[in-house]
Structure 1
């Protein structure tokens, strides 16, 4: 991360111009001692002198103080992971205050702000009150609006809309989320198919495969992510719930997707268990919870984004993501959330005293604690 650094710029520009500290001091009307302190970082020039200094060296004020309002991808990734660790180890309010400082400092860097928004959405549940969590979500929503005012990057624009819509849903504003998503301009055809064909014609078969794998992977995850919502819509039909849940399992297992992305797909078994409970099918619910526990107590740690035998050319796409192959939340936070979603879920109250449920909870505690 780049910081304001006028000292080294002054030294370099003065030597480049071939002048002494005395000469620069005389031009500005200050003492040589003042110039010396500026160049050693002991103090800074008065703000009224910055335009004079910048003009003298024929550079902008931003260049003079070495201020970079943008942050490069690797620095964004490191910062995200640092805050992930901090949220798992330090008080929420303290880490959140640091996040706000970074947001203010890089308010003109949409790529950084987008990742900070995702970071806050992924950790707002750690706030010590519902009111604080809501405040974080409201500020994140407003941040997404600001991002769209500052960038023309299609990827950042698209993700910011989804994050804002997610905030609206968490804030119990489904109408606002609906309007946001209905207004999205989605292409009628996939540009990836054309891009892959172009790579193929140019003899770049590996790139064509990479593009197609990435497209298929993203679309399958997107489709499977909707199965959970569909189960709730079909909650009054045992036949439909069984049909869609069986389809989910067949698709996910046939392509090893659950092992590839457990954090995104395994919660489907938790959702299915909740639906089965509403239908009074407690044994089906317990069977889903057992699958859920088996996945998260299996050999999947450390959690990270990774390919498999179907999707074996995804490394470039993973690297393009703001946080690379790392999970968006610290592992300890993830484990705590997983256990709480099971043990403290009021929808499982009717089976919480059964031996099967207690055994499942114990299985997860044994792995996590």
Structure 2
């Protein structure tokens, strides 16, 4: 097991505002020895631990298990670093780096939440079903821990994600159980606050809440329509599924959100058209999904959602495009693989990645 005692000594020394020389003199060692501890070249001799603990007014146990503090910004920096490894290195190396940071900051639930979410988003990097299962299990384990966070947002978001992961893992009872632990809210205080702020002419406050609430509700409607499509597909009612997708597309267009939701709509339509072996429609939406995925969404000048901050994720655009390619080159697309239009789209996609 990797020890972080050198980092702990460095942190405690700086907290006390003393130099390496002063610490070395107090412990009866050379400055070079302290320097080697702190840069992890060597560990202190075991006989030195009582002296070091006494100097810093702590115990040996706490010295060896000292919880290194880390900010949320630093967490996101580490997560982005690991996301890059999932994209450009092997899955094994990416997981190894994730686990290194998880060991280093083993009590940080925000890190576990973000790493669990990263594992979920990186399942597409797996090279086999076995590897995908391994990543899924790691994601579940981390999010189960972060769901115990005292911070409501982390706890509840972890549970929402867990419900999806349990479903992917065919643990349907657990998915239902975790969802039923979440509060069912019948009223939203933001509805009342908006009216209150408008009546007080606090229009900026009203608009800030209104844009977030409106976006959330439009997103919820779109997600509900997606579920209707899934149900229709299971009932083998393609006509109904297409009609619902028409409604979804009209809502997306009405709220000018094509750059955000256009690709997901295309994927759902392709799921229908590939089953029907509809060459023209499949080619049409393969082209459309590539065009949608290549766009950068920006709400800066949006009529309703101007300057609304959306979480953009940690994976690069190239990684997302690679996953799109995986989807549209599955065996279900064999009936169009000789079509030059399909070949041209794949060539264009390769140039974008």
Given the two structures, how large is their TM-score scaled by the length of structure 2?
A: 0.81
Deviations 1:200-259 (A, max 9, x none): 566543233122211221232233134333223223334422321111111101111122
How far apart, CA to CA, are the structure 2 residues paired with 1:63 and 1:201? 55
1:62–1:70 Cα change, 3 Å: farther
Q: 2:34 aligns with which of 25, 38, 42?
A: 38
- 1:105 equivalent to 2:104? Answer yes
CA contact (8 A) 2:249 2:265 kept: no
How far apart, CA to CA, are the structure 2 residues paired with 1:180 and 1:69? 31
- 1:6 equivalent to 2:45? Answer no
CA contact (8 A) 1:231 1:244 kept: yes
The answer to which of 237-246 and 330-339 deviates more is 237-246
Q: 1:266 aligns with which of 259, 263, 266?
A: 263
How far apart, CA to CA, are the structure 2 residues paired with 1:86 and 1:350? 34
CA contact (8 A) 1:84 1:119 kept: yes
- 1:245 equivalent to 2:245? Answer yes
Q: 1:308 aligns with which of 302, 305, 314?
A: 302
How far apart, CA to CA, are the structure 2 residues paired with 1:258 and 1:268? 9
The answer to which of 164-173 and 272-281 deviates more is 272-281
**Higher RCO, 1 or 2 (CA under 8 Å, sep at least 6)?**
1
- For structure 2, the residue ranges without an aligned partner over 5 or more in a row are 1-5
CA contact (8 A) 2:277 2:335 kept: no
- Secondary structure of the 1:234 match is helix
CA contact (8 A) 2:8 2:68 kept: no
Give the match for residue 160 of structure 1.
158
- 1:348 equivalent to 2:333? Answer yes
1:109–1:306 Cα change, 3 Å: farther
Match runs of 1:203-282 below 5 Å? 204-235=202-233, 236-259=236-259, 261-262=260-261, 265-279=262-276, 281-282=278-279
How far apart, CA to CA, are the structure 2 residues paired with 1:14 and 1:294? 56
1:185–1:60 Cα change, 3 Å: farther
Q: CA deviation at 1:364?
A: 2.8
Q: CA deviation at 1:289?
A: 3.0
How far apart, CA to CA, are the structure 1 residues paired with 2:158 and 2:87? 25
- 1:289 equivalent to 2:275? Answer no
**Aligned-residue RMSD, C-alpha:** 3.5
- For structure 1, the residue ranges without an aligned partner over 5 or more in a row are 26-31, 319-324
Q: CA deviation at 1:333?
A: 1.6
Deviations 1:132-180 (A, max 9, x none): 221121121111111123x121111121112222222322333432333
- 1:361 equivalent to 2:346? Answer yes
Deviations 1:280-300 (A, max 9, x none): 655444433332233124xx2
1:306–1:186 Cα change, 3 Å: farther
Q: 2:322 aligns with which of 316, 336, 343?
A: 336
Q: CA deviation at 1:347?
A: 2.8
CA contact (8 A) 2:24 2:30 kept: no
CA contact (8 A) 2:163 2:179 kept: yes
Q: 1:189 aligns with which of 187, 190, 197?
A: 187
Given the two structures, how large is their TM-score scaled by the length of structure 1?
A: 0.78
Q: CA deviation at 1:342?
A: 0.7
- 1:122 equivalent to 2:88? Answer no
Q: CA deviation at 1:184?
A: 2.4
How far apart, CA to CA, are the structure 1 residues paired with 2:125 and 2:155? 27
Number of residue-to-residue matches in the alignment: 341
How far apart, CA to CA, are the structure 1 residues paired with 2:238 and 2:36? 74
Q: CA deviation at 1:197?
A: 4.6
How far apart, CA to CA, are the structure 2 residues paired with 1:118 and 1:348? 30
Q: CA deviation at 1:355?
A: 4.6
How far apart, CA to CA, are the structure 2 residues paired with 1:171 and 1:77? 27
How far apart, CA to CA, are the structure 1 residues paired with 2:301 and 2:82? 26
Give the match for residue 3 of structure 2.
none
